[in-house]
Structure 1
Amino acid sequence: MAVGGRAVTDGPDATPRLRFDTLDLASRGAFTPPPVDPRALRVGVVHLGIGAFHRAHQAVFTELAAAAAGRDDWGIAGVTQRSASVREQLMPQDGLYSVLERGRGAAPLRVVGSVREVLFGAGDPAAVVDRIADPAVRVVTLTVTEKGYRRDRAGRLDRSDSQVAADLAGCPPRTVVGQLVRGLQRRAAGAAGPVTLLSCDNLVGNGQVLRGLVHDFLDALPEAESGPLADWIAACVRFPSSMVDRIVPATTDDDRADVRAVLDLDDRGVVVAEPFRQWVIEDDFAADRPAWDLAGAVFTDDVAAWESVKLRMLNATHSLLAYLGALRGHDTIAAALADDELATAAEALMIEDVTPTLRVPDSLDLSGYRRQVLERFANPALRHRTVQVAMDGSQKLPVRLLGTVRDRLAAGAIPRQAALAVAAWMVYVAKGRDAGGRELPLDDPLADRLRMAAAAGAGDPNRLVDSLLNVEEVFGADLPEHDGFRDVLIDHVARLTA
């Protein structure tokens, strides 16, 4: 095939690769093209952590918002922090990629063009700072996962982290908070104007968390440097909280083949998602923002209530199914939910332990939300792998499950179903294999510490529970002291290891 007088044969089996010139020649009947001409989009948003979730979620909302408002100044400059792979996928494709929905009600394949640039933070940190400091940028969004914030046991910036220390010493910044602060410093010096930093990660009060970490970084700088910048941030920067929701499993070769069949083009950046998507945002911005509400986002003054429902009901149940399902040899969340015993446990967690702890938003039907969660998890087309959801358990358990545990204990109740999820995590860490003998990967920033704790309690449920409960980064100092919680954990672990 020739395009513009040159051969385009860089895809598998000589399939042309997705980009502006090849997309222009593709048949539009089977897919939805970008609603705004990507060539005309100017960067107005920087996004830190441009993984699959962002491309299936915020980037779609932003493109639809730009189209609805008739704006061409909300293109996205994405930053990939740990690996250049997303840059290598998207930049040869002019930033284009497709979103493939799986499940009932799936829309046609969508080609997205809102990402106009991808920077590799580890390889070119100065370029990241330059982008954050660009006067055309009014919003910086983040999906860097819980561990990307580099917090210590107390939830403060971990100044013992070697990369945090290097950023504080003035090296080209490689951590998220370092990049943000140095970018803000440059904005203040260059009178670049106000900006909003919008966290979209699964953290309780994520906006306040991000604000605190930025100020922790400032507090570690010399007063002559930090004082004026702190004053400028107070006047010109906002840190709204948000809640995001969409299931985005890992892309497979079969997914890429399905996209190739629709486009007759090779898309190496395709992401897969369920039809459902949700974004709830605190309406507190320092400057202009995309009209995300025109694309279906909800602006509110009370993100916390929505956030608590999502973290404790959806995310906690996801983790319960991941650990119990993986231990039983179920490869996917849908397969785990098809197991009647696990489905019963999932619903019991939401009804018995989570619901009594929630402050429900006025417009939310909690029973309907619970049913919707289970319907979404049961979608077999997604093939969301249990071991993928099981990653980073030491970071996820405190925000997904342990808040519910503490609230129920404070109310005088023993949270048996939440304890089952925690016990399943403990057994997952300790056994490292499923019921069929297959290895279960322990992908966790505390992996070495967890393995040592599990080894110290090997073979005895009492010792295993005590050893892992004493990992203070996960359980704090209070939960190991609660005999009722400890006893129910031991009971669950004994049954799961029998």
Structure 2
Amino acid sequence: MTRLSDATLSALPAGVAQPQYDRSAVKPGVVHFGPGAFHRAHQAAAFDTLLAQDSRWGLTGVSLNSRGVADALNPQGGLYTLALLDAEIDYRVIGAIGRVLTRDDPAAILGALVHADTRIVSSTVTEKGYCLGADGTLDFANPAIAADLEAARSADWTPGSFTGWLVRGLQARRLAGLPGVTVLCCDNLTDNGRKLGAATLALAEAIDPDTARWIADNVAFPNAMVDSITPATDDALRARIAAATGLEDAWPIQRERFTQWVIEDRFAGERPALDLAGVTFASEVRPFEKAKLRLLNGAHSSLAYIGLGRGLETVADAMADGELARFAERLMREDIAPSITPPPGLDLDRYISDVLARFRNPAIRHLLAQIAWDGSQKLPYRLLDTVREALAAGRSVERLALPIAAWLRFLAGAANEGRTITDPLAAPLLARAGDWRHVLTMREVFGELGSDARFTSAVEAGLAALEAGRLKGVAA
């Protein structure tokens, strides 16, 4: 089958949308680290819409940990197909990415960062990619950060971490007399821009204090949040794309039709007109971020760990389990919602109903096993912060502790069966998994909660309920 490329766009069927601009005229205004499915389904699609009106906001992708995306997209000129999953499935070819660079070509990465057209450096490198400690600050003991500090002893140094690349690129821009940029984190971290900004300044201060001062004066780190369910690409999607487009696409992407991107209106220079693509610019992102992280992501993780323990495979399967669906709804409405002060215009009851409807979308095959990745990095933001607030307010944490108990059982099952898990703390987690109390002592995950008797008792009760095949707190 013929491969997707600029030369074959004209062969697309009329029902498949394609870039509405001259790709040869696009300038690379954005360098994006982590051009995986999450980014390509959301942010790249928004910039693709913007490019039809303003050709200065093309994307250069940078993949630090794998050549997979580069090897798939570069032969296609950066093109890929996005499937929008709903009652009816729509297909759209995205052209916003010009090329994808890898760590094998550090000179090209640095060249993109110091390019005169670059005004935004964005990122979706997952929670673990920022090398933060449990307190949300840069972890100088992280091997990648330690290696960057050692490498920076040389004037012409090559970083390994994303934060290291930020410091290296901003240092080079300062020395070249170029203006600062906006650094836009789009990962699911609370207060993500502030945390990334503080981490970047901390590393810069340790490497080059002059650059740290320049960053403080010339670079913006706005908070942002992105929301849209993005199942992993599988062979079924590839076959569906090939049938719909008549072309081979090495790495198509799929997501639900719903998408939300909220960006703090704080830019170092020109702000792209992404509102043309439905992006919301707000003076304060945290209320949107908190609602999404706790309600949607918190419920997602809960469905994942409890659902996997019940032998379920997808989010839709979990929502078809009446007892589990009722548990998730009560968790959201009665335990998580009280911790959220909604921003103007956001009706929490309606938001929860919409999220539950999105979970039930029959066109989305979102694997619980995928959601279960990196639990040690996700749960502190998705559930444990809510636990802390509930305890401080004197509210019950019985239901909130149940998904934590399910995660502990997930770890124990993997350890007993000799399976590995996808988590940066996999080794210590699996080593302790035989004794759940030992896992709770990991302060890098639980902080002070591991020694709070109210929390540990709720977790113990949750483990007993799960062992008995019950979901505590579910109405009959």
1:25 aligns with 2:28: no
Matches within 5 A, 1:155-194: 155-169=136-150, 170=152, 171-194=157-180
Runs of 4+ in 1 over 3 A off after TM superposition: 437-441
**1:138 matched to which residue of 2?**
119
Distance (whole Å) between structure 2 residues aligned to residue 363 and residue 438 of structure 1 = 48
**1:11 matched to which residue of 2?**
none
The one of 376, 379, 386 aligned to 1:404 = 386
SS state of the match for residue 238, structure 1?
Answer: coil
Query: Any idea what the Cα deviations from partners look like across 1:458-498, whole Å, max 9, x if unmatched?
Result: xxxxxx2x21211111101x212221221111011122134
The one of 201, 214, 217 aligned to 2:187 = 201
1:60 aligns with 2:45: yes
- Give the letter aligned to residue 142 of structure 1: S
Distance (whole Å) between structure 2 residues aligned to residue 124 and residue 497 of structure 1 = 51
1:229 aligns with 2:207: no
CA deviation after TM superposition for structure 1 residue 380, in Å: 2.4
**1:495 matched to which residue of 2?**
465
Distance (whole Å) between structure 2 residues aligned to residue 104 and residue 276 of structure 1 = 12
The one of 274, 282, 305 aligned to 1:292 = 274
Q: Is the CA contact (8 Å cut-off) linking 1:244 and 1:280 kept in structure 2?
A: yes
**1:260 matched to which residue of 2?**
242
SS state of the match for residue 433, structure 2?
Answer: helix
**1:8 matched to which residue of 2?**
none
Matches within 5 A, 1:446-457: 446-455=425-434, 457=435
**1:93 matched to which residue of 2?**
76
Q: Is the CA contact (8 Å cut-off) linking 2:414 and 2:430 kept in structure 1?
A: no
CA deviation after TM superposition for structure 1 residue 441, in Å: 5.3
TM-score when normalising by structure 2: 0.95
Moved more, 82-91 or 153-162: 153-162
CA deviation after TM superposition for structure 1 residue 440, in Å: 7.0
Q: Is the CA contact (8 Å cut-off) linking 1:135 and 1:187 kept in structure 2?
A: no
- Give the letter aligned to residue 440 of structure 2: L
Aligned length: 463
Distance (whole Å) between structure 1 residues aligned to residue 414 and residue 357 of structure 2 = 29
The one of 142, 147, 151 aligned to 2:132 = 151
CA deviation after TM superposition for structure 1 residue 431, in Å: 1.6
**1:416 matched to which residue of 2?**
398
SS state of the match for residue 101, structure 2?
Answer: strand
Q: Is the CA contact (8 Å cut-off) linking 1:47 and 1:142 kept in structure 2?
A: yes
1:332 aligns with 2:314: yes
Q: Is the CA contact (8 Å cut-off) linking 2:309 and 2:410 kept in structure 1?
A: yes
The one of 74, 95, 102 aligned to 2:85 = 102
Q: Is the CA contact (8 Å cut-off) linking 1:309 and 1:360 kept in structure 2?
A: yes
1:475 aligns with 2:454: no
Query: Any idea what the Cα deviations from partners look like across 1:200-240, whole Å, max 9, x if unmatched?
Result: 0101100000011101102322xxx31x2122212211000
Matches within 5 A, 1:119-130: 119-121=101-103, 123-130=104-111
SS state of the match for residue 21, structure 2?
Answer: coil
* Unaligned residue ranges in structure 2 (runs of 5+): 469-476
Query: Any idea what the Cα deviations from partners look like across 1:68-123, whole Å, max 9, x if unmatched?
Result: xx2111110011121101000101001110101122354x20000000010013x2
Distance (whole Å) between structure 2 residues aligned to residue 204 and residue 71 of structure 1 = 31
SS state of the match for residue 31, structure 1?
Answer: coil
Q: Is the CA contact (8 Å cut-off) linking 1:334 and 1:378 kept in structure 2?
A: yes
* Unaligned residue ranges in structure 1 (runs of 5+): 1-14, 458-463
SS state of the match for residue 182, structure 2?
Answer: strand
Query: Any idea what the Cα deviations from partners look like across 1:422-476, whole Å, max 9, x if unmatched?
Result: 111111111229xxx9997521111111111112x1xxxxxx2x21211111101
Distance (whole Å) between structure 2 residues aligned to residue 442 and residue 25 of structure 1 = 43
Matches within 5 A, 1:280-319: 280-319=262-301
**1:16 matched to which residue of 2?**
2
Distance (whole Å) between structure 2 residues aligned to residue 211 and residue 236 of structure 1 = 12
CA deviation after TM superposition for structure 1 residue 268, in Å: 0.8
TM-score when normalising by structure 1: 0.90
The one of 422, 430, 445 aligned to 2:424 = 445
Query: Residue 195 and residue 201 in structure 1: after superposition, are their counterparts in 2 closer, same or farther (change >3 A)?
Result: same
SS state of the match for residue 260, structure 1?
Answer: helix
Distance (whole Å) between structure 1 residues aligned to residue 341 and residue 84 of structure 2 = 32
1:240 aligns with 2:222: yes
Distance (whole Å) between structure 2 residues aligned to residue 267 and residue 374 of structure 1 = 32
Task: Give identity over the alignment, percent.
Answer: 44
